[in-house]
Amino acid sequence: MLKLILKTLSKEFYAAHAGLFLFGFYLAFGVVEGSQLLSYHKTLMLMVYSSPLILASVFLFWLLYVLKCLFFIRKQLKLAQYHFVFLLATAGKKKQFRLWLKVYVVLLLPILGYIIPFIYVGLAERHFIGVLATISFVIILLSTVSGYMFRIINYSHVPVKVYFSFPCPQLKKPYWTWPLYYLLTGQTLMLFGSKILSFSLFTLVMWVFADVSKDLRVALIGILAAVLSHSMLIQVMLRQEMDQLSFSRSLPIKLRTRIGQNLLVFLVLFLPEIFFYLYRFDWQVQPFLVGLLFGMAGLMTLRMVLYWIKLDLDRYFKWLLAFFFVNMFVILSGYAVAFSLLMLSAYFLYFFFFYYRTDLQEV
């Protein structure tokens, strides 16, 4: 049964999230020169051990990944072709637990492959408390999720008792809010993972440059990091538009209305970062307007790039690297406002002239 589950559920999980793994691999190993790779990761690991807050953030990221694995398996088990998995209920409790433990070890290989050298560095540098916390957290995480899978297989037929029901009114969802509802309900983990990464990178940038934290260029670098943290969310939103909302092209919606709706969606999506950015600058209007313009221009540019390359993730990662270096140069040169206006103008022109020329079925 283990081999069958690995060849079906595990294989489908890795296939469905291949783009995410490629993006993570690129961030971990592609942005640093090969000669500096070991020293870079060792410094990164020591920085994690040096701060309980950073270590807790890493644990939270691992937890989100495990939840993503769990939700994927639960979703697949609802399909008819995976009903055979419920035959595990005939096996013993210990056998089922060990089987699911092995399944999740395979699903967590991208994380476990990094945890092993992480523990080694911790032991070598005598961060024993951090190492103990890491090992304990991984064991508890795997045990909990394996026990939960045992409960799903054996007690899914038992109705759940509802002790309290909170009346929730049915709200109308305007058309322009559909991408946001999709992220909130269908891509919850990716949404919250992107937000956590966004705030973490923004805070890290402000901490590294704490001595000049009031410099507008430092804050714009933080905004740039936040924009890049949303790069996979933009890809998911565009994929949903092409898979589920392609019918909207036949609706009598003017192009300027579509542009306004897209801007509104990204504004709502990026609003937490903008408020955090505004808070860091003591609620000053001029830095707020510059940061808002730069952030919105970056998000819309990434959307335009995805349209242009037709959701080719391999090319998208290369564009992300180029986008980072070009924007860093622009920020340090002091031309952020002019470049933001240029990016927005390019997006508007591309949208007006090429939106209806892009065949969604081909993508």
Q: Give residue 164's pLDDT.
A: 46
- Same-domain status, 45 and 108: yes
Is residue 160 a part of any domain in this protein?
no
8-39: pLDDT as tens digits: 888 888 877 776 777 677 666 665 666 777 88
- Same-domain status, 299 and 209: yes
H helix runs in the chain, sequence order = 2-5, 11-16, 18-25, 37-50, 52-77, 93-107, 109-124, 128-155, 178-186, 188-208, 216-229, 231-244, 255-280, 285-308, 313-333, 336-354
Backbone φ and ψ of 143, nearest 5°: -65, -40
- Same-domain status, 65 and 209: no
32-42: pLDDT as tens digits: 666 777 887 78
Is residue 147 a part of any domain in this protein?
yes
CA nearest 63: which of 140, 177, 173, 150? 140
118-149: pLDDT as tens digits: 898 888 888 888 889 889 988 988 888 888 88
pLDDT at 252 over 70: no
Q: Give residue 266's domain range.
A: 175-354
Q: Give residue 172's pLDDT.
A: 67
- Same-domain status, 116 and 203: no
Q: What is the mean pLDDT of residues 170-190?
A: 73
Is residue 144 a part of any domain in this protein?
yes
CA nearest 286: which of 224, 220, 347? 220
**High-pLDDT (> 90) share of the chain, %:** 1
pLDDT at 362 over 60: no
Q: Give residue 312's pLDDT.
A: 74
Q: Give residue 194's pLDDT.
A: 79
The structural domain count of the chain equals 2
- Same-domain status, 80 and 113: yes
Q: Give residue 203's pLDDT.
A: 76
Q: What is the mean pLDDT of the chain?
A: 78
- Same-domain status, 15 and 146: yes
Q: What is the mean pLDDT of residues 259-281?
A: 81
The lowest-confidence range among 69-73, 242-246, 323-327 is 242-246
- Same-domain status, 12 and 135: yes
All residues at 6 or more sequence positions from 353 whose CB lies less than 8 Å from its CB, including other chains? none
321-357: pLDDT as tens digits: 788 888 888 888 888 888 889 988 888 888 777 765 6
Question: CA-CA distance, 220 to 145, in Å (whole number)?
Answer: 40
Is residue 27 a part of any domain in this protein?
yes
Q: Annotate 112-148 with b (16+ C-beta within 10 A) or e (fewer).
A: bebbeebbebbeeeebeebbebbeebbeebbeebbee
Is residue 162 a part of any domain in this protein?
no
- Same-domain status, 184 and 286: yes
